[in-house]
C-alpha cells in the first residue's frame, strides 16, 4: 500500500533508513491528476529502483499570474489509488507552505530563494511563460534536496523542461541521474496531459491537430532523405499550415531546435536529430487551453 507523506521531516527520516539499507531511490515529480503518461515514468522508475517516491505537488511558483493555477485539476483520492496500483512506495503530497514556508509569495513578489536556470529559458515555453522554468528548477532542486534520489524521471512531453533539468543537475553537481521517458499518447495520437480535462468533445477533436501537424512535418522530413539538408522554414510552414486548418486552434509557437542546446536551426543536416516543439491554444475562447507537444525529427 502506497503511503502518503506530507512532511519533509518524515521523508527525510524514511530516506535515512533507505540509505542505511543501501536502497536505490527513484523520484517521479508530478503535479498530480495522474494519467498514463505519469504511469510510464513510475513504471520505468520501478524497474530501475528499489524504492519509488512520487511527488504530487501543484507548484505555485511555476504558474504566471494569468495562468491556470486556480483551476488546475486535483484529485488526491484518485492519485493515491493510481500510485498504489502502480506500486509506488510513497506519495509525497506536501502543502505549498511545507515546501516554501510562510509568505513565499506576497503581492506578486517572490520571497524565497529561486534557482535561475541557464539561458535555455529564453526560447520555446520559457519565452511565453516568464518565470515558469525558475519555478520548475526551484521546486525540482528542493525535491532533490528533500528526497535525495539516485534517479529522477521526467517526460519528453516537456522536452524543454527535461533539457533544463539535466543542465541544472550538471551545473550544480547534483548527484542524480535524470532519466527521460517517451511521450505517452491516447490511441488517436493526442499527447496525454492533465490539462486535456479542460477540453470539450469538440475541442478534444480539434486538439488532434497538434500531433497531426507534427506527423505531417515528420513525413516531409523523411521524404527529403535524398537531400543532405532541409530548410527549417519549410518544416515550420508545414506545421503552421496544418494547425491553421483547425479553426479552434491558435499557434503560440512553433520551434525547430537542436535537442540538446535548444538553439534555433535554420538548416537541418539530415545526419542529425532535431526537436520540433509546438504550443497551441485550443478553444472557442481564445487562450482557453494551452497544449504542448513535440517530436524528434530524425532519419
Q: Where does this chain bind ligand AMP (CB under 6 A)?
A: 30-31, 37-38, 40-41, 154-155, 157-158, 181, 183-184, 191-194
CA distance 150 to 147: 9
The least distance separating ligand AMP from the CB of residue 163, rounded to whole angstroms, comes to 12
The least distance separating ligand AMP from the CB of residue 228, rounded to whole angstroms, comes to 33
Sequence length of the chain is: 299
C-alpha cell at 29: 515529480
The least distance separating ligand AMP from the CB of residue 158, rounded to whole angstroms, comes to 4
| Residue 129, φ and ψ in degrees, nearest 5 | -125, 75
Number of H helices, E strands in the chain: 10, 13
Output the CA–CA distances (angstroms, integers) from residue 86 to 1, 102, 176, 180, 281, in the order listed. Answer: 10, 34, 23, 19, 32
C-alpha cell at 66: 494569468
Active site residue 150: no
204 close to 291: Cβ distance less than 8 angstroms: no
The least distance separating ligand AMP from the CB of residue 192, rounded to whole angstroms, comes to 4
Closer Cβ to ligand AMP, 144 or 270, answer by number: 144
Contacts of 9 (CB under 8 A, 6+ apart): none
The SS3 of residue 87 is coil
The least distance separating ligand AMP from the CB of residue 76, rounded to whole angstroms, comes to 14
Closer Cβ to ligand AMP, 163 or 217, answer by number: 163
C-alpha cell at 263: 538553439
Closer Cβ to ligand AMP, 184 or 270, answer by number: 184
* Nearest alpha-carbon partner for 208 in 117, 122, 291, 135: 291
Catalytic residue among 38, 150, 272, 299: 38
202 close to 243: Cβ distance less than 8 angstroms: no
Closer Cβ to ligand AMP, 2 or 193, answer by number: 193
The least distance separating ligand AMP from the CB of residue 19, rounded to whole angstroms, comes to 25
CA distance 117 to 109: 19
- The β-bridge partners of 296 are 275
* Nearest alpha-carbon partner for 296 in 259, 265, 261, 253: 259
Closer Cβ to ligand AMP, 158 or 203, answer by number: 158
Closer Cβ to ligand AMP, 150 or 185, answer by number: 185
Q: Which residue is nearest to ligand AMP (CB)?
A: 155
Active site residues: 38
Amino acid at each position: 500500500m502506497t503511503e502518503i507523506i506530507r512532511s519533509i521531516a518524515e521523508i527525510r527520516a524514511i530516506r535515512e533508513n533507505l540509505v542505511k539499507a543501501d536502497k536505490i531511490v527513484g523520484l517521479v515529480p508530478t503535479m498530480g491528476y495522474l494519467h498514463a503518461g505519469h504511469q510510464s515514468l513510475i513504471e520505468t522508475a520501478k524497474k530501475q529502483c528499489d524504492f519509488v517516491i512520487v511527488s504530487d505537488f501543484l507548484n505555485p511558483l511555476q504558474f504566471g499570474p494569468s495562468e491556470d493555477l486556480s483551476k488546475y485539476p486535483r484529485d488526491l483520492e484518485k492519485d493515491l489509488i493510481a500510485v498504489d496500483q502502480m506500486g509506488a512506495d510513497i506519495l509525497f503530497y506536501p502543502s505549498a507552505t511545507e515546501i516554501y514556508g510562510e509568505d513565499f509569495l506576497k503581492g506578486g513578489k517572490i520571497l524565497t530563494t529561486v534557482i535561475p536556470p541557464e539561458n535555455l529559458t529564453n526560447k520555446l515555453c520559457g519565452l511565453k511563460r516568464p518565470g515558469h522554468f525558475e519555478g520548475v528548477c526551484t521546486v525540482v532542486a528542493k525535491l532533490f534536496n528533500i528526497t535525495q534520489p539516485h534517479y529522477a524521471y521526467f517526460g519528453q512531453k516537456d522536452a524543454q523542461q527535461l533539457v533544463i533539468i539535466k543542465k541544472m543537475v550538471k551545473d550544480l553537481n547534483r548527484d542524480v541521474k535524470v532519466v527521460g521517458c517517451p511521450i505517452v499518447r491516447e490511441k488517436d495520437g493526442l499527447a496525454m496531459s492533465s490539462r486535456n480535462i479542460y477540453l470539450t468533445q469538440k475541442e478534444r477533436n480539434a486538439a488532434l491537430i497538434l500531433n497531426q501537424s507534427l506527423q505531417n512535418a515528420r513525413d516531409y522530413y523523411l521524404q527529403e532523405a535524398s537531400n543532405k539538408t532541409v530548410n527549417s522554414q519549410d518544416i515550420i510552414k508545414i506545421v503552421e499550415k496544418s494547425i491553421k486548418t483547425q479553426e479552434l486552434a491558435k499557434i503560440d509557437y512553433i520551434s525547430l531546435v537542436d535537442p540538446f542546446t535548444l538553439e534555433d536551426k535554420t538548416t537541418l543536416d539530415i545526419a542529425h536529430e532535431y526537436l520540433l516543439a509546438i504550443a497551441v491554444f485550443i478553444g472557442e475562447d481564445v487562450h482557453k487551453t494551452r497544449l504542448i507537444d513535440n517530436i524528434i525529427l530524425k532519419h
